[in-house]
Structures are given as structure tokens and as C-alpha cells.
């Protein structure tokens, strides 16, 4: 007994029939109330030192032992002292017998297992949480889903799984490094947690995939509300080390009221719907609809798109650009459309991103380049066609990193006798930042051809003014999202003013995109913007309509 009494982390005590301490050993400071000598305990009960709840539970256990004569083995409990919490102990208690075998009290051995319990908790945390964001991981998400269905059996209701996937996250990782990528994931996790309610579960499944489980939804409006919030919150800019980053997300949603549904099916359905959201142009949500025939599966879609390219289902519309000085027409931007046999006219946002991902963008872009240049030659050979009329053609970032791209451009220019100042290639900011080296090579080759380069959608990607000076571009196109708020937001106005001033200082001209109101137009003019493009001035139109406009 001597050894046991002295063992570190172990306390042995004896109590009488009323659970008053008779004797307490040393050896386990953590389980002795602060400021108490061991001798102070004698004659007192747990109620003098511990929380009511803990003392009552110990008292109950001891009275049971006295009543039944049966020992209590290895009970793990948290000791809550009146003045201190958080000591975990493992207790075994036995009846205390006198020399005649009569029960005269209890005795017990208490071991301090706090360190062990904490380690186990940390481990459990690791097993159930994503190390980067601290959110739940797939394992705990599946567990929560199971629980949610059990709850649904008891109390009918509606729940939904939101599958959130970031758009083009790889570009951020590639251009800014994984540290910035991780920080962005953490911030996205925070934003998603704020969108959901406390009872909801937000998990990161890996990579740039997040899942939110929302329980107790009332109706479809609730779902749309949350989905809209997700899309909006994620695309608000992030500020990291002097950079302003933006990332959008595509969200797939699987709602259900069926308690018999399988968690795996829910996740898969939400994933499918997310994929549809990507297919429809990203930066949006889509609710899973098993009966939906509107959106085809990836393979089917790819086959249809290949067919479209080969069978001339693609065609171009042209949106005019105007000088803000004198409102004169300065050129057009070629915009591709797809005349789908069943679905009617399909907008480029619904197939360009898909084409980029599935290796079809090169054929689309070269069709567009060819057709636009053919049209340009036809137009400019007409009498009275405006001097200096330019044709802008969008070029996917994927194309730019292909070695032969400048050659393709050169061939098309030769074929249609295009002088270089008439052709403007529009390239998004994202393309400039991703695959820097290859793109620089292509840009250098293009600058030998002397074609003009426009930086498209400026402000949506990595809008750092500092970047501008490293980009050899002739035109900066300020994205619609800035122009949209230019009347209301002083911040957007300042940004546009700064971009314009900087671009002019660098010898670039500036186009405001998406001009829809007179107020926006006036503001852009006031900010010294050179050109405007937007529905207010002219919508994308057929080649015949362009001819009529010029006439």
C-alpha cells in the first residue's frame, strides 16, 4: 500500500458510510482542491470541494457500493472543483470492509488521466477536422449526414447539401504559391461558416471543395437565399500581402426531405449539380434536378460541342465600341455564340469554360479568329468604312500558352490582308498571371507582329495596379463589375480613376465595359476613359446590323 500511496498521479482515499473522507493519500496534486492540505479533507465530503453535480454523482456511486457491496470499476470522469475545472480522472471504487467483513464505507483509487484525455481529444479532432481550415472533414461530414437523417426520421423536415467548388483555384496556387492558396482556403472556410447557421456543418472535403449541410430549411426560398449568399460572399475580394484576389465558386445543391436517402447519394447529386453550375459558366449555383434534361452529362456535352465546331453551329456577333470623346464607332468585339439544334442560341459563358477544360478551346478560338478576320477584310474593303476600325477577338489563356499561337495569328493576318493595328487580341488578366513564362513568349512573338493586345476584364482577377506596368498591353478593359457600381461606389470610382491615370501614363488606352446607364457613361467620360462598350451604346449584333450602323 505504501508504494501505491506514493505513486505519482494516483490518489487513494477512504470514506465512511456518509462519504466523509477518512484518509487521503498524497501523490496526486491535481486531484486535490487548490489550497487544501490533505488533512483538511478529513471529515469533509465531496460537496465541500467539488461542483454539486460531480459530488452528487460520486455520492450516488458510493451509496450504491455500500448498498450492493459491488465495486465500481474504471469510471472516467471530469473532476470539477469549485475553483478549477478540467481534470480528468479514472476512478475505481470498492466497499471498505472491517475485520468482520462488514461494509463500513468505501475506498477508491483515482488516477489523473488529464494528459491522456487531452491527447485523445486532439487526436479525435485531427481525425475529424481538416488541418488547413479547421473545418470538419469528409469523415465528420458523413457522420453529421447520418445524424441528420436520423433526426429527419423523428421530425420531418428539409435538409440540403451544398457542394461548393472554387473556380480556377489552381491559377491562384500556381501564381501565388500554396501559402497564399491555403490562406485563401481558410478565408473561404470562414466566409462559408458565416453564411451558414450554427447548427449547420461546414466541411472541406479536400482541394478546393467544400460542403455545407444545412438542416431545418423551410422551403426552396431558404435554399436560394443561402446559395446566393455563398456565391456572393465567396466572390468578394480578398486582401493578401498587398494583392487583391478574387475567386468565384460554383455551387451544386441537393435538397431532400426523405429520411431514407443515402448520404453518399446526396453528396454525389450535389457534386453533379455543381458540375452543371460549372458547365453553365461558373460563379453560380444549381439545384440538383434528377428529371433535368436541360443540361447534359460531360461526355454528351463534349460530343455535341465537337459536332458544333465541325458543323458550323458556331457563329459570331459583334458588339460595337465607341469613342467617349465624340461618340464615334471605333470598332467591334467579336463574340461567339452557338446555335444549338435543340436549345437555341447558347451564350459563350455556357460552353467556353467547358471547352477550355476539355481541350476544345483551340478549335473554337481559331474559328473565331479566322471568321472575325474574314469579316474585317470584307468590311474594310467597302467604301467609306471608318478609318482605324478595329476588330477585337477574345483569346483564351489556354491558347496563349500554346507555342504555335503567334504563328496561327500571323497566318490568318496574311490570309485576309489584315494590317496589325486593326486587330486587337483580348486576353484576361488571369492569363497574364498564370503560366507566366510561356505566355510572355507568346506575347513577345505577338508584339513582333505588332497586333494590339487588350487586357480584358481588368479588376476581376488579380487587380493589382502594380501588375499593369509589367504587362505589355495597348488597351485596358475595365470589367463590367466596376462600371456597374461606378455611380454609387466612391471606391469603384477611385479605382477606375487610378486605373485610367496609370494606363495613360503607360501609354495604354482604357475601355469601360458593360455601360448600361447614362450615369455610368457620364462618370466614365468624367474619369477620362477613352472608349465605352455596353448595352446602352449597342448590344452584340449580326454583321448586317454592323453594316447598317456604319451606314
Task: Return residues touching ligand C2E (CB under 6 A).
Answer: 319, 335-336, 347-349, 352, 365, 368, 394, 396, 426, 456-457, 480, 513-516, 533-535, 540
For 216-281, give the DSSP string.
EE-SHHHHHHHHHHHHHHHHS-EEETTEEE---EEEEEEEE--TT--HHHHHHHHHHHHHHHHHTT
Choose the one of ligand C2E, Ca ion, none that binds residue 12, judging by a C-beta under 5 to 8 angstroms depending on kind.
none
271 binds Ca ion (CB under 5 A): no
8 Å CB contact between 15 and 96: yes
Nearest residue to the partner ligand C2E, using Cβ = 534
Choose the one of Ca ion, ligand C2E, none that binds residue 215, judging by a C-beta under 5 to 8 angstroms depending on kind.
none
Task: Choose between 210 and 338: whose C-beta lies nearer to ligand C2E.
Answer: 338
Phi-psi region of 242 (alpha: psi -120 to 50; beta: other; left: phi over 0): left
Instruction: Find the part of the chain contacting Ca ion (CB under 5 A) among 270-278, 292-300, 394-402, 519-527.
Output: 394-402
Closest residue by Cα to residue 33 from 20, 48, 43: 48
457 binds Ca ion (CB under 5 A): yes
272 binds Ca ion (CB under 5 A): no
CB of 513 to Ca ion, least distance (A): 5
Instruction: Find the part of the chain contacting Ca ion (CB under 5 A) among 338-346, 352-360, 437-445, 508-516.
Output: 508-516
Nearest residue to the partner Ca ion, using Cβ = 426
List strand residue ranges (DSSP E) for 354-490, in order. Answer: 390-394, 423-428, 452-458, 475-478
CB of 540 to Ca ion, least distance (A): 11
Q: Grid coordinates 459530488 are at which residue?
A: 55
C-alpha to C-alpha distance for 429 and 463, rounded to whole angstroms: 8
Task: Choose between 193 and 319: whose C-beta lies nearer to Ca ion.
Answer: 319
Site string for Ca ion, 483-502 (x = CB under 5 A): --------------------
Q: Grid coordinates 475529424 are at which residue?
A: 128
394 binds Ca ion (CB under 5 A): yes
Task: Choose between 162 and 379: whose C-beta lies nearer to ligand C2E.
Answer: 379
Closest residue by Cα to residue 446 from 379, 391, 400: 400
Task: Find the distance separating the first CA and the last CA of the chain, reported in whole Å.
Answer: 110
8 Å CB contact between 127 and 26: no
SS3 213: strand
CB of 281 to Ca ion, least distance (A): 14
Instruction: Find the part of the chain contacting Ca ion (CB under 5 A) among 71-79, 247-255, 359-367, 509-517.
Output: 509-517
Task: Choose between 25 and 428: whose C-beta lies nearer to ligand C2E.
Answer: 428
399 binds Ca ion (CB under 5 A): no
Biggest alpha carbon–alpha carbon distance for the chain = 126
Residues making contact with Ca ion (CB under 5 A): 394, 426, 456-457, 513
Amino acid at each position: 500500500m505504501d508504494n501505491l500511496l506514493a505513486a505519482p498521479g494516483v490518489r487513494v482515499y477512504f470514506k465512511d458510510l456518509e462519504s466523509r473522507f477518512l484518509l487521503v493519500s498524497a501523490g496526486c496534486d491535481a486531484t486535490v482542491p487548490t489550497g487544501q492540505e490533505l488533512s483538511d479533507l478529513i471529515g469533509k465530503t465531496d460537496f465541500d470541494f467539488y461542483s454539486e453535480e460531480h459530488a452528487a454523482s460520486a455520492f450516488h456511486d458510493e451509496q450504491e457500493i455500500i448498498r450492493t457491496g459491488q465495486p465500481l470499476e474504471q469510471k472516467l470522469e471530469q473532476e470539477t472543483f469549485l475553483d478549477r475545472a478540467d481534470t480528468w480522472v479514472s476512478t475505481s471504487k470498492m466497499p471498505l470492509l472491517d475485520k468482520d467483513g462488514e461494509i463500513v464505507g468505501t475506498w477508491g483509487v483515482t488516477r489523473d488521466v488529464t494528459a491522456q484525455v487531452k491527447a485523445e481529444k486532439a487526436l479525435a479532432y485531427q481525425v475529424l477536422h481538416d488541418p488547413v481550415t479547421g473545418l470538419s472533414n469528409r469523415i465528420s461530414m458523413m457522420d453529421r449526414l447520418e445524424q441528420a437523417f436520423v433526426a429527419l426520421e423523428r421530425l420531418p423536415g428539409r435538409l440540403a447539401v451544398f457542394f461548393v467548388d472554387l473556380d480556377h483555384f489552381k491559377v491562384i496556387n500556381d501564381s501565388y504559391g500554396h501559402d497564399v492558396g491555403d490562406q485563401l482556403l481558410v478565408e473561404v472556410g470562414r466566409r462559408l461558416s458565416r453564411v451558414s447557421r450554427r447548427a449547420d456543418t461546414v466541411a472541406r472535403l479536400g482541394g478546393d471543395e467544400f460542403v455545407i449541410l444545412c438542416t431545418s430549411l423551410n422551403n426552396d426560398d431558404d435554399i436560394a437565399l443561402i446559395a446566393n449568399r455563398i456565391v456572393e460572399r465567396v466572390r468578394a475580394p480578398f486582401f493578401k500581402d498587398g494583392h487583391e484576389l478574387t475567386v468565384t465558386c460554383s455551387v451544386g445543391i441537393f435538397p431532400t426531405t426523405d429520411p431514407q436517402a443515402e448520404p453518399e447519394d446526396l453528396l454525389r447529386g450535389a457534386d453533379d449539380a455543381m458540375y452543371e453550375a460549372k458547365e453553365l459558366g461558373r460563379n453560380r449555383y444549381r439545384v440538383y434536378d434528377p428529371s433535368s434534361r436541360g443540361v447534359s452529362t460531360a461526355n454528351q456535352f463534349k460530343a455535341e460541342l465537337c459536332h458544333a465546331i465541325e458543323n458550323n453551329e458556331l457563329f459570331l456577333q459583334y458588339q460595337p465600341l465607341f469613342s467617349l470623346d465624340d461618340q464615334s464607332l471605333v470598332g467591334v468585339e467579336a463574340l461567339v455564340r452557338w446555335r444549338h439544334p435543340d436549345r437555341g442560341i447558347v451564350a459563350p459563358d455556357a460552353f467556353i469554360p467547358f471547352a477550355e477544360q476539355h481541350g476544345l478551346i483551340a478549335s473554337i478560338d481559331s474559328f473565331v479568329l479566322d471568321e472575325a478576320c474574314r469579316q474585317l477584310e470584307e468590311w474594310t474593303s467597302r467604301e467609306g468604312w471608318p478609318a482605324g476600325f478595329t476588330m477585337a477577338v477574345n483569346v483564351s489563356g489556354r491558347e496563349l500558352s500554346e507555342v504555335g499561337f503567334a504563328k496561327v495569328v500571323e497566318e490568318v493576318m496574311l490570309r485576309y490582308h489584315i494590317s496589325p493595328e486593326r486587330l486587337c487580341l483580348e486576353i484576361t488578366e488571369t492569363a497574364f498571371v498564370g503560366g507566366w513564362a510561356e505566355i510572355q513568349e507568346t506575347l513577345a512573338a505577338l508584339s513582333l507582329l505588332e497586333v494590339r493586345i487588350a487586357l480584358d476584364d481588368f479588376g476581376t482577377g488579380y487587380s493589382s495596379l502594380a501588375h499593369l506596368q509589367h504587362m505589355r498591353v495597348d488597351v485596358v478593359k475595365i470589367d463590367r463589375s466596376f462600371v456597374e457600381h461606378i455611380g454609387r461606389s466612391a471606391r469603384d470610382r477611385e479605382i477606375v480613376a487610378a486605373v485610367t491615370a496609370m494606363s495613360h501614363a503607360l501609354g495604354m488606352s482604357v475601355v469601360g465595359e458593360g455601360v448600361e446607364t447614362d450615369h455610368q457613361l457620364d462618370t466614365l467620360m468624367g474619369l477620362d476613359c477613352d472608349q465605352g462598350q455596353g448595352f446602352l451604346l449597342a448590344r452584340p449584333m449580326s454583321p448586317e446590323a454592323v453594316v447598317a450602323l456604319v451606314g
